[in-house]
Structure 1
């Protein structure tokens, strides 16, 4: 890097060579030697080392709420670093920024979530949620309550605990679930009607939940964890009665409810927290990502008083991260929340998200490989299928489609084997939304049900 400009002194080819030789990438497809080297971002756009512009329709990983290149956030970080860059919040030590952010978060949160435990990210947050739930029951004299209910296809991070709660085989094969006693349930997915044997999805899921509780024994189950809206699987919005009915069953049996809102909080679904859509307040709520729009790693776990009082008694909760309550991260989070509020980004997520979804449905649902377009706020997914009747996935998945979108349409999206995941920054405007729709039409009208763009 050159000190004067902050730009790399390497040419692109050298950067690519060094990357291949020195960086171990997550999820790198076998045999791929190409790289897209990004060097600049502004709003909904990023640029690579050769000056090519891309439209970031992914908000990186669904977290860049306020858009790229916000100088006011850089200024807040710099000012805080000059004043008190870092100190821990262990024991009786604290700092003003951590206190201010805790007050702000609990004011915004669903009523009853009045305590905050800080982390550096989502996987850490779910690790803490898991420990809180089991420690809570242990402190209440029920150490045998060590089962956790999760759901197939869920994603809760890649820590050994959070990975054990994630419902895809890729997080277990070769690693093994480290946390014992995890039971996976069927998630509610209205598009995948074939999962429910002709039954209403909520009825099926609640009956399955009650069966699992009776089989395991309610006195052995600590908590159930779930994303209110499933992000990693592709904007799967449950029926409106799903979470209220699940919460009623859990409360009846003294089982804690954990909401993983790492993706869905801070405006992504058009509300501060997606729990608000369902009228359910969990016992523990995990956040990260959008809390700082990714400008600095940070996260916060919100806890109700009942859990906080139990785990905080008799010497306190015996777990703490090095960067718990990092003052610079807290300062950036406060400034980021200010931008979301002042610029009306929750309303924009609702309005522009609805517009984008309507345009995508109008332009794409007639195509043979497009099965569904789902949306809540600025959290969307385009389900790709080999057959609209069977709703089977494309052979070979969706990776080739994301490559073509980036290379031929200049649009960056994320994907899973089933769907393209569209989560633009919350600053998206209608003109930019139109460009996303045009780019998708340009590529997907050439996508065959064989999984190849022709």
Structure 2
């Protein structure tokens, strides 16, 4: 069978790397970040990837600073992951755990994740995405209280700036304003807390943040709150690293009121911050952990929720009815196992810590510029945050295009340049990213 290729005028524009201008034939993809009914002004069409590099349809080579959306930990073009998928498909492509039977790859992966989990005594629930994982964790947390003592705890604490997904429950605890447009006011069952951002709060913000948490619980009634959900490092908000002692303090307050803690490690898990999981490094000690993205390095959709011993004790005896068609997908599990082998064998978490420290040091001088608010990061989860000056914002619109001409893919540049490259990025590539980002940010001063 002849392979399908891009065809027509829009296809010609894509192949030329110019993006699709309005055509007689509408642009075929409803873009997640597009305006419905309007053709995209410029769309990059990627056709190949190797390591930390991608190529567009014009043959241009670009260092990927985002790893897709942070998921491609082991880099592109990993033949062993394709081989793992093909081999499993030849044996048993999938059979949903929700249907009753189990499959061997899912069992092996659950055992592996339980061993890696930062939560002692974990058992694993499989999903297809981070959003499904957040839905699962929120549901389990509320059910845990119901099963434990019959209490109804409908309220959830969430951080301003937190991003947890786009499905209904996950969106409820997400504070991205644009994602709520047209959907009415934020749900009343979510209590929002100030984001723990040292760049905005100044020195020693932890006592004030913990006092705010206590006040919020006092107003709501702590007996009505099931859980707090938070990212160890806030990703979409700008790769914000909370101040030292914040998560440990939050854990202490929650323990006083019997409230569970959910760590959203969708972005931070599996080596991104320099550890297998970020929560322990920050003293977070969660009860449930949501993961996805780098579990398979994005080669096939999969996620997993790790439920620890405390929540399991509370849930003991509950007749759980929860799952998805692709829960424990056998092919996805086989790919995940091979992917985790790569991360472990190539010591990619350690590499993220070392490469990230060098990249952060190279970018740190940008903090001297008046139009830069902060340079921060942990491992290969870095950010350069710009001020909200309209003139800087206008000039920053040109930054992605100029960076691409220099061989670096930076899709978005204001108000934050987020850098989450594949963990396999080489030292030479990382230095190139630092040089291009440094040069372009310095140009923003006019």
> Could you state the TM-score of these two structures normalised by the residue count of structure 2?
0.91
Q: 2:417 is matched with which residue: 413, 420, 425?
A: 420
Equivalent pairs counted in the alignment come to 436
Query: Residue 47 of structure 1 aligns to a residue in which SS?
Result: strand
The one-character-per-residue Cα deviations of 1:41-100 (angstroms, maximum 9, x if unpaired) are 011111111111111011110111001111110010010111110101126411111111
Q: How do residues 41-440 of structure 1 correspond to structure 2 at under 5 angstroms?
A: 41-90=49-98, 92-176=100-184, 179-193=187-201, 200-311=204-315, 313-315=317-319, 317-362=320-365, 364-386=366-388, 396=393, 400-415=397-412, 417-440=414-437
The one-character-per-residue Cα deviations of 1:374-429 (angstroms, maximum 9, x if unpaired) are 0100000001115xxxxx68764786155334443232235475311001110112
CA distance in 2, matches of 1:146, 1:393: 41
Which sits farther off after the overlay, 435-444 or 332-341? 435-444
Query: Residue 318 of structure 1 aligns to a residue in which SS?
Result: coil
C-alpha spacing 1:310/1:345, structure 2 compared with 1 (3 Å): same
C-alpha spacing 1:201/1:443, structure 2 compared with 1 (3 Å): same
CA distance in 2, matches of 1:139, 1:418: 44
Contact 1:263 1:289 in 2 (8 A): yes
Q: Report the counterpart of residue 13 of structure 2 in structure 1.
A: 13
CA distance in 2, matches of 1:425, 1:365: 25
CA distance in 1, matches of 2:402, 2:316: 50
Query: Residue 445 of structure 1 aligns to a residue in which SS?
Result: helix
C-alpha spacing 1:424/1:395, structure 2 compared with 1 (3 Å): same
C-alpha spacing 1:383/1:90, structure 2 compared with 1 (3 Å): same
- How far residue 179 of structure 1 moved from its aligned partner, in angstroms, is 4.8
Q: 2:28 is matched with which residue: 22, 46, 49?
A: 22
- How far residue 441 of structure 1 moved from its aligned partner, in angstroms, is 2.6
Query: Which structure 2 residue ranges, 5 or more long, are not aligned?
Result: none
- How far residue 438 of structure 1 moved from its aligned partner, in angstroms, is 1.7
Contact 2:272 2:379 in 1 (8 A): yes
CA distance in 1, matches of 2:217, 2:412: 33
Query: Which structure 1 residue ranges, 5 or more long, are not aligned?
Result: 387-391, 449-453
CA distance in 1, matches of 2:360, 2:338: 30
Determine if the alignment matches structure 1 residue 444 to structure 2 residue 444: no
Query: Residue 263 of structure 2 aligns to a residue in which SS?
Result: strand
- How far residue 371 of structure 1 moved from its aligned partner, in angstroms, is 2.6
Q: Report the counterpart of residue 451 of structure 1 in structure 2.
A: none
> Could you state the TM-score of these two structures normalised by the residue count of structure 1?
0.90
C-alpha spacing 1:135/1:415, structure 2 compared with 1 (3 Å): farther
C-alpha spacing 1:241/1:71, structure 2 compared with 1 (3 Å): same
- How far residue 171 of structure 1 moved from its aligned partner, in angstroms, is 2.5
Q: Report the counterpart of residue 389 of structure 1 in structure 2.
A: none
Query: Residue 239 of structure 2 aligns to a residue in which SS?
Result: coil
Which sits farther off after the overlay, 409-418 or 344-353? 409-418
Query: Residue 22 of structure 1 aligns to a residue in which SS?
Result: coil
Contact 1:235 1:379 in 2 (8 A): yes
C-alpha spacing 1:443/1:408, structure 2 compared with 1 (3 Å): farther
Note the aligned Cα RMSD (angstroms).
2.3
Contact 1:188 1:239 in 2 (8 A): yes
- How far residue 201 of structure 1 moved from its aligned partner, in angstroms, is 1.2
